[in-house]
Structure 1
Amino acid sequence: MRSLTELVKTADTSRDALWEDEFLTRLTDAKLTVLSPDPQTGPDQWPYLLVSTDEGEESAQKVLAWLAEKGIGMAVNPTKDYPDFVLTYGMIWNFRESGRFIDRRQVPQDGSVEYDPKNLKMSGPPTEQYLPLYVRRILKQFWTDQGVLNPRIQVLSVDGENFDFAFSLESLGNPPASEHAGIAEAVSWFLPPHYSVVLVSEKGLPPFSGL
């Protein structure tokens, strides 16, 4: 496996999934320099801690553990034209819980869907393993900031193997269909990349629970 220094020097056009996996593996053992004591708002309007891999003194493991509790992402070497890597909050807490930033075994879907209750193999509230309490707290604060005080959720599966993290449209104020994809995309920032986020009506489905 290449060193982090070698990986950082790799041309952008040569950075494939293998490069990503090597980079993230090396990053977890790196020493980082925190470039700004306060998180900065990225172009996507989410908060990121800016760090450099050059001559660092801060343990990446400790930095990542702190970010997981705060609901903050991380931008690595952001002084370039493009950062070497941008970690969403969902990637960070997924690493804390599973040891992986990205799980490539599942391809998520986001947006609005409909379910036939007769075809559901599984439905119910998320387990603490699926959605840890500290993540629930941060996700609930996000919704509170949007004026949604009691979002209702459920995990649904039609095959017992692939799961959708469903948010009740009614609890979100029944936003227009044109906004569903954008809402799902926003929520996805807080969740691991392989999570499927959907917005659904509660009608005909098993009871939803509060976040």
Structure 2
Amino acid sequence: MQPLKSLNEICSQPDSLRNDVWEAQLFESCRTSKLMIVDPQPRMGPDHWPYIFAQTGMGSTEPALKVIEWLATQGVGLVLNTHKPAPDYIFSYGMIWNFVQNGEFLTRSESEFSGKIEIEAGAKVQAGSPSEAYLPNYVRRILRSFFTDQEVSNPKVLVMSQDLINYDLCLSLESLGDPPESEHDGIARALSWFLPTHYSLLLISEKGLPPFYSL
């Protein structure tokens, strides 16, 4: 077995070698490598979300694992090597807490998400409040803070599944103030930054569905 490369070694590889294997090596190295924090205060990225900027070279003294665990409680993402013309990697907040909870930044999903939910007549649907494993309390706190900033006082959610394998996180349109349909995609894209990449998020009316729960 080849020794695990450091984050700095991995981030020094040319773009031509940066494929899925490279990404997997980078993820694995986050467990053992160290970082240098450029600024302890989060900075806004070009996507307007907060990130901690970190470097992987000389002077790296902070264990990446501890940094990631801290970021999960703060609702902040991570960017590696912003001093380069293009950062080596950008971790959204959803990727951060998915790693803390499940041990992986990206969870592969075999299901295709269409953005809509179709329930056949007579089909059995399991529905309820998000579990701690699915949406931890510290993540719910971060989401509530985001909604408060958007002047949404009581966002409501429901987790639904037709096969107990694939789950949809449903967000009540009524609790959001019934925004026009033209805004739905933008809202969903914004919220996706807070969630693991494999999560299916739906903005949906409560009508005809089981009771929703306060986030």
Same fold (TM over 0.5): yes
Deviations 1:126-177 (A, max 9, x none): 1011011111100011011001100010011122211111100111111111
Percent identity of paired positions between Structure 1 and Structure 2 = 46
Shift of 1:78: 1.2
Q: Which stretch of structure 1 is more off in the superposition, 2-11 or 13-22?
A: 2-11
Q: Check the 8 A contact 2:111/2:166 in 1, yes or no.
A: no
1:3 partner letter: K
Aligned residue in 1 for 2:5: 3
Give unmatched runs, 5+ long, in structure 2: none
Aligned residue in 1 for 2:190: 186
Aligned residue in 1 for 2:51: 48
Mapped to 1, the partners of 2:85 and 2:122 lie a distance apart of 51
Mapped to 1, the partners of 2:13 and 2:116 lie a distance apart of 39
Taking a change above 3 Å as real, the CA distance of residues 111 and 183 of structure 1, as seen in their structure-2 partners, is farther
Taking structure 1 as the reference length, what is the TM-score of the superposition? 0.93
Q: Check the 8 A contact 2:113/2:200 in 1, yes or no.
A: yes
Residues 1:15 and 2:18 aligned together:
yes
Mapped to 1, the partners of 2:102 and 2:52 lie a distance apart of 22
Q: Which stretch of structure 1 is more off in the superposition, 107-116 or 158-167?
A: 107-116
Aligned residue in 2 for 1:69: 73
Deviations 1:27-78 (A, max 9, x none): 2211110011211100100000000011200111111111111100000111
Q: Check the 8 A contact 1:111/1:180 in 2, yes or no.
A: no
Aligned residue in 2 for 1:134: 138
Q: Check the 8 A contact 1:71/1:89 in 2, yes or no.
A: yes
Residues 1:28 and 2:41 aligned together:
no
Taking a change above 3 Å as real, the CA distance of residues 84 and 108 of structure 1, as seen in their structure-2 partners, is farther
After superposition, the CA RMSD in angstroms is: 1.8
Larger RCO (CA under 8 A, 6+ residues apart): 1
Mapped to 1, the partners of 2:172 and 2:115 lie a distance apart of 12
Aligned residues: 211
2:12 partner letter: K
Mapped to 1, the partners of 2:121 and 2:62 lie a distance apart of 50
Q: Which stretch of structure 1 is more off in the superposition, 148-157 or 120-129?
A: 120-129
Residues 1:206 and 2:204 aligned together:
no
Any idea what SS the aligned residue of 2:169 has?
strand
Q: Which stretch of structure 1 is more off in the superposition, 75-84 or 104-113?
A: 104-113
Aligned residue in 1 for 2:40: 37
Shift of 1:10: 2.3
Taking structure 2 as the reference length, what is the TM-score of the superposition? 0.91
Mapped to 2, the partners of 1:20 and 1:42 lie a distance apart of 21
Give unmatched runs, 5+ long, in structure 1: none
Q: Check the 8 A contact 2:80/2:88 in 1, yes or no.
A: yes
Deviations 1:83-134 (A, max 9, x none): 1111111111111111111111345637454545743431111101101111
Aligned residue in 2 for 1:97: 101
Aligned residue in 2 for 1:154: 158
